[in-house]
Amino acid sequence: LSSTNKNDYIIIHFFRRFGWSICKYLAKDLSEMIETIKKECHIQINLIGIGIEMTDYQSFKDEGYFNGKIYINEGKSLYKNLNLKKSKGCCDLYGMSCRLFKIASKAKEKKMENNLKGDKLQYGGELIIKNDVVLLLRSQKDPTDLIEKEEIFKVIDEVKKDEWGDYIKNVI
């Protein structure tokens, strides 16, 4: 993070597994969403990914599913410190099976290969930072959960309101 401009937004996405087609699809979706937001809002966003293991990392990177730097957090200390959820096993599949199958079929249409190697229980999430301040920390509710564009816009709007408020106070 030290190499990024303090005035830029930083969105950190915590991955589950690089080889799983659902994670590939969500990573691609997030990358495209961030590019759209950058253009619409005329802001700089640094996208960073954190994974928990090297399993399938190289093919994930080579196939271009994510438009940001990727780091590996073996031992999951960041995941633990941020209290990112872990799956309870098959209990979690019950409520999200429709979303899971819908995303899996979209990933299959895009020829995203699938393998289930690696940690199957750890969930991911997102962290949004600006000026060394955490603006949002969000844990996945289930493996198909991805931050919505509207959530990111809401965070950006709040920061812009604060910045304009500070600017007006300084001018007066």
Please write the tens of the pLDDT for every residue from 2-34: 556 667 899 999 998 898 888 898 999 999 999
pTM (two decimals): 0.82
Tokens for 89? 């096993």
Please give the pLDDT value at position 17: 85
Please give the pLDDT value at position 13: 95
* Burial class (CB within 10 angstroms; exposed 0-12, middle 13-18, buried 19+) of 96: middle
| Banded pLDDT at 97 (limits 50, 70, 90) | low
- b/e per residue, 107-141, with b = 16+ CB within 10 A? beeeebeeeeebeeebbbbbbbbbeeeebbebbbe
Assess whether pLDDT exceeds 70 at residue 51.
yes
Tokens for 172? 């007066």
When the pLDDT of each residue in the chain is averaged and rounded to a whole number, the result is 83
| Banded pLDDT at 101 (limits 50, 70, 90) | confident
Q: What is the largest CA-CA distance in the chain?
A: 59
Q: What are phi and psi of 20, to 5 degrees?
A: -80, 130
By percentage, how much of the chain surpasses pLDDT 70?
A: 84
Q: Which of 54-58, 96-100, 145-149 has the lowest mean pLDDT?
A: 96-100
Q: For the chain, where are the E strands, in sequence order?
A: 9-14, 45-51, 69-72, 125-130, 133-139
Helix (H, G, I), strand (E, B) or coil at 125: strand
Please give the pLDDT value at position 161: 73
Sign of CA pseudo-dihedral 60, 61, 66, 68: positive
Sign of CA pseudo-dihedral 138, 18, 122, 103: positive
Please give the pLDDT value at position 165: 56
Cβ atoms of 97 and 59 closer than 8 Å: no
